[in-house]
């Protein structure tokens, strides 16, 4: 495992210096102190090595983002800034890898890369959505699509500027600045109307419940310090997902499964969101 991790780290360095296509398997093997033949004991191809690195980056980013979602002893706004700072640090700390990815693999050029990046985007959208609601309250829900798009647009442009143009930045100062901008936007909402209402629509809790279950499943798969039986928790998530896809979900079963998941301390935030969405679904019906 140590040698495999070293291979991935050396590969990122070489890809960053020379480019993905200009770096050979031989060079990666030599930089790691192994033979070219030994490389293939760990990875089938150079592409499979890149995909493995991307999967690991995805898992780490979601794991870190989820673990930072609840911060004790802070106001909601302070927690918002802290969470944002941490996410920006994740992108910046992995600058070399994402530089290679953005430059060598434009969107839709590689199916596996596109699928993993799409999954990362979807997971972050859900995390951002709930973070924004936690920060500013349910008053922003009618505008949530517009708010998320604006927030992610700001983050994206700063991330691209910092990573691709190699700018240095005080992450906490940047997060505080973005939070101030978001404050101004939220304060202006009473004087305007939402533009987009069909994407991330708060009136469609069933789809959001399924998204939330995906987040819970990802967190379970990427977290080790779980006090409850992980397999049973995963089965509960799978049963919830199956039940939600039926035409007439059984309320008593859904409530029992949600209650069971709520027993796991590490899932409290996600299950709170799940429970809120479920109650909205029942009210709508």
Name the E strands within 33-118. none
Q: Which residues contact 227 (CB under 8 A, 6 or more apart)?
A: 264, 265, 266
Question: Is residue 151 within 8 Å of residue 128, measured between CB atoms?
Answer: yes
DSSP state of 265: G
**Predicted local confidence at residue 211, as pLDDT:** 78
- Confidence (pTM): 0.64
44-89: pLDDT as tens digits: 988 888 888 888 887 777 766 665 555 567 888 998 999 899 888 8
Q: How far apart are CA 108 and CA 6, in angstroms?
A: 29
Whether 31 has a pLDDT exceeding 50, the answer reads yes
**Predicted local confidence at residue 159, as pLDDT:** 87
**Predicted local confidence at residue 152, as pLDDT:** 93
Whether 179 has a pLDDT exceeding 90, the answer reads yes
Question: Is residue 46 within 8 Å of residue 28, measured between CB atoms?
Answer: yes
**Predicted local confidence at residue 72, as pLDDT:** 65
Domains of the chain: 2-43 (1.10.10.60), 73-191 (no CATH), 205-284 (no CATH)
Tell me the mean pLDDT in the region 95-115: 73
Flag the least confident range among 103-112, 126-135, 143-152, 253-262: 103-112
Whether 13 has a pLDDT exceeding 90, the answer reads no
pLDDT, greater one: 151 or 70: 151
249-266: pLDDT as tens digits: 888 999 999 999 988 888
Tell me the mean pLDDT in the region 36-40: 91
Mean pLDDT of the chain: 83
pLDDT, greater one: 262 or 269: 262
200-240: pLDDT as tens digits: 544 466 777 887 888 788 888 877 778 888 899 999 999 99
Flag the least confident range among 177-181, 190-194, 204-208, 220-224: 204-208
pLDDT, greater one: 188 or 74: 188
Tell me what percent of the chain is helix, strand and coil, each rounded to the nearest 5.
75, 0, 25
**Predicted local confidence at residue 106, as pLDDT:** 61
Share of the chain above pLDDT 90, in %: 26
Tell me the mean pLDDT in the region 106-133: 78
* Number of alpha carbons in the 13 Å side-chain half-sphere of residue 159: 22
Collect contacts of 179-184 with beta carbons under 8 A, ≥24 apart.
179/77, 179/80, 179/81, 179/84, 181/154, 182/132, 182/136, 182/147, 182/150, 182/151, 183/77
**Predicted local confidence at residue 67, as pLDDT:** 58
Tokens of 241: 């997902």
Q: How far apart are CA 164 and CA 158, in angstroms?
A: 10
Burial class (CB in 10 A: 0-12, 13-18, 19+), 265: exposed
């Amino acid at each position: 495992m140590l040698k495999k991790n070293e291979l991935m780290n050396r590969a990122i360095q070489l890809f960053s210096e020379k480019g993905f296509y200009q770096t050979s398997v031989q060079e990666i093997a030599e930089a790691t102190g192994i033979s070219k033949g030994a490389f293939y004991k760990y990875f089938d191809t150079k592409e499979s090595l890149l995909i493995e690195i991307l999967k690991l980056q995805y898992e780490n980013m979601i794991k870190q983002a989820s673990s930072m979602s609840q911060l004790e002893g802070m106001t909601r706004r302070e927690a918002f800034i802290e969470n944002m700072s941490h996410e920006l640090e994740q992108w910046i700390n992995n600058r070399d890898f994402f530089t290679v990815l953005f430059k060598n693999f434009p969107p839709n050029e590689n199916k596996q890369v596109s699928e993993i990046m799409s999954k990362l985007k979807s997971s972050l959208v859900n995390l951002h959505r709930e973070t924004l609601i936690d920060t500013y309250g349910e008053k922003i829900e009618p505008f949530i699509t517009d708010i998320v798009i604006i927030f992610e647009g700001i983050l994206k442009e700063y991330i691209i500027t910092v990573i691709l143009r190699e700018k240095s930045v005080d992450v906490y100062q940047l997060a505080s600045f973005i939070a101030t901008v978001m404050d101004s936007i939220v304060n202006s909402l009473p004087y305007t109307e939402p533009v987009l209402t069909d994407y991330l629509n708060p009136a469609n809790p069933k789809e959001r419940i399924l998204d939330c279950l995906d987040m819970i499943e990802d967190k379970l798969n990427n977290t080790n310090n779980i006090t409850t039986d992980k397999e049973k928790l995963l089965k509960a998530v799978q049963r919830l997902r199956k039940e939600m896809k039926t035409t007439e979900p059984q309320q008593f079963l859904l409530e029992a499964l949600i209650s069971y998941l709520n027993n796991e301390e590490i899932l409290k935030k996600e299950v709170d969101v799940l429970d809120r969405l479920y109650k909205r679904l029942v009210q709508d019906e």
